[in-house]
């Protein structure tokens, strides 16, 4: 179950070109199990229609403070009390200024003054407007009043400028709703941020907009209607990786074997049972993925024949013979597919960890591999902690090895995703710098 399940979210939309993203944001919030009601400013309706948001949320969209029907029951106060979270996305410079100075001249600003909910906003404006001292003064006021700013991101803008001010992608916003404040971009989390801060001064959103497919957990190979072959994987490492990637702004699709874990915020989850089911889901998902991470503990073999009825113990038999056949090798198949994503494999070993991992890295044509010794007590399968050895193939550097000591799986996941993103971006830069051969 998502951390957003059952949360009551009041989504405010103000008049910015980024309002088109708000429809997707509303859809993601609903998909995560939240109750969503939308309030739009008058200007927002020039960019996206209330009918669109009503269709996506299943709730009437409020646009006017002086709505006689709603105000008969003090509707704006009721909505302010209803919300667990007030999220404004996009938040324009004008709206930020009005909120910073306590205005209540439309429905959205009135609700914000009246609510005791957690208040968050995703700024969206031209880079010069974001950097202007007046806007930065308003950022200071808003953070002092308890507002939490999600973003902004930096990059190309609709006006043609480049710099900070872009609204975060909806996936990143959903993932950051429950992230601690010290995981937010520094320009947003600190009231004293410099208006000259460069995009590099922000906490990493290096996966922003990237499509990442992860596999996690075990697979089950049925023998008969009541028995199956499986392993001890709990899925904790894969789920921690999915959460870490989503916090960095990636669009994460998690293909999960049977586990008892909640879906991380902002992550799309696909449940499977057998290796063949995981293979088909991974093959389809990898087609439009930038990165594929095969963290699942996949069963290498399955029963050659599935018994339609429970296999009975026969009197006098001291042994039962099962014939097993090979399952498809998921990560190896993705590594030779076209188009090919950046492929990261995992190696759970009990001895000669580095030797086996290096062999797997080359033999399966992987870009990177994460190896761990599952024979160590308190680490690996089912545990809350893990250690890892990261190996990669790199033509631009002699350093292709990083050892990560025992730590919580959540902390380890952040370190692994950091290295994955470093290697992914390095490979992208290398591809751009490599001259293309003319085809004769």
Annotated binding site for CTP: 294-296, 300, 310, 328-331, 346, 360, 364
Q: Which residues of 374-396 are buried (b: 16+ CB within 10 A; e: fewer)?
A: beeeebbbebebbbbbbbbeeee
Query: By C-alpha distance, which of 357, 347, 352 is closest to 293?
Result: 347
**How many whole angstroms separate alpha carbon 247 and alpha carbon 411?**
13
Q: Which two tokens stand for residue 421?
A: 């993103």
State which H helix or E strand residue 130 sits in: helix 127-131
Choosing from 1, 113, 159, 311, the catalytic residue is 159
3-state SS assignment for residue 294: strand
Structure tokens, 199? 């995009």
Query: Which runs of consecutive H residues, i.e. helices, occur in 229-287?
Result: 236-247, 275-286
The span from the CA of 76 to the CA of 71, in Å, is 7
CB 380 within 8 A of CB 403: no
107: nearest Cα among 47, 50, 66, 49: 66
d(CA 243, CA 391): 22
DSSP class of residue 158? T
The angle that helices 20-31 and 50-57 make with each other, rounded to 10 degrees, is 10
User: Reduced to 3 states, what is the DSSP secondary structure of residue 408?
Assistant: strand
The DSSP secondary structure of 369-392, one letter per residue, reads: EEEEETTSTTBSTT-SEEEEEEEE
Beta bridge partners, 386, equal 407
| Dmax (CA) of the chain | 87
The binding site comprises: 294-296, 300, 310, 328-331, 346, 360, 364
For residues 168 and 151, the answer to whether their CB atoms sit within 8 Å is yes
Q: Give catalytic status of residue 159 as yes or no.
A: yes
156 forms bridges with which residues in the sheet?
A: 162
Triad 377, 382, 385: Cα angle to 5°: 60
Which SS3 state, helix, strand or coil, does residue 410 take?
A: helix
What backbone torsions phi and psi does residue 182 show, to the nearest 5 degrees?
A: -80, 0
Q: How remote is the C-alpha of 337 from its chain's centroid?
A: 24
| CA 22 – CA 42 distance, rounded (Å) | 15
Question: Among all residues, which ones are annotated catalytic?
Answer: 159
């Amino acid at each position: 179950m998502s951390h957003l399940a059952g949360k009551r979210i009041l989504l405010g939309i103000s008049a910015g070109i980024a309002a088109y993203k708000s429809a997707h944001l509303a859809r993601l919030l609903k998909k995560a199990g939240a109750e969503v009601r939308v309030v739009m400013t008058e200007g927002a309706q020039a960019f996206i229609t209330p009918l669109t948001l009503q269709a996506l949320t299943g709730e009437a969209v409020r646009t006017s403070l002086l709505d006689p029907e709603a105000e008969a029951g003090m509707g704006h106060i009721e909505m302010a009390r209803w919300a667990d979270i007030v999220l404004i996305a996009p938040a324009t410079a004008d709206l930020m200024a009005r909120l910073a100075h306590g205005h209540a001249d439309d429905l959205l600003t009135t609700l914000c003054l009246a609510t005791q909910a957690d208040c968050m906003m995703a700024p969206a404006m031209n880079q010069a407007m974001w950097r202007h001292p007046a806007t930065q003064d308003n950022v200071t006021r808003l953070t002092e009043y308890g507002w939490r700013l999600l973003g902004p991101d930096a990059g190309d803008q609709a006006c043609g400028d480049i710099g900070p001010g872009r609204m975060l992608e909806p996936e990143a916003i959903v993932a950051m709703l429950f992230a601690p404040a010290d995981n937010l971009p520094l320009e947003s989390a600190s009231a004293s941020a410099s208006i000259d801060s460069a995009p590099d001064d922000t906490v990493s959103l290096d996966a922003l907009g990237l499509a990442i497919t992860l596999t996690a957990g075990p697979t089950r190979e049925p023998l008969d209607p009541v028995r199956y072959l499986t392993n001890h994987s709990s899925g904790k490492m894969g789920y921690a990786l999915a959460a870490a990637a989503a916090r960095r702004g990636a669009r994460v699709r998690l293909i999960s074997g049977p586990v008892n874990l909640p879906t991380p915020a902002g992550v799309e989850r696909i449940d499977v049972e057998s290796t063949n089911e995981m293979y088909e889901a991974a093959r389809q998902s990898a087609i439009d993925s930038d990165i594929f991470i095969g963290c699942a503990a996949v069963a290498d073999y399955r029963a050659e024949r599935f018994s339609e009825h429970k296999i009975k113990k026969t009197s006098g038999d001291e042994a039962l013979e099962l014939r097993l056949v090979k399952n498809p090798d998921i990560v190896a198949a993705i590594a030779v597919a076209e188009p090919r994503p950046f492929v990261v494999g995992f190696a759970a070993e009990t001895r000669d960890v580095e030797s086996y991992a290096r062999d797997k890295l080359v033999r399966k044509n992987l870009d990177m591999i994460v190896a761990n010794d599952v024979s160590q007590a308190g680490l690996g399968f089912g545990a809350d902690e893990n250690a890892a050895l990261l190996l990669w193939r790199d033509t631009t550097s002699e350093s292709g090895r990083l050892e990560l000591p025992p730590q919580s799986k959540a902390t380890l996941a952040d370190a692994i995703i950091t290295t994955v993103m470093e290697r992914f971006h390095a490979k992208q830069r290398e591809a751009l710098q490599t001259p293309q051969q003319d085809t004769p």
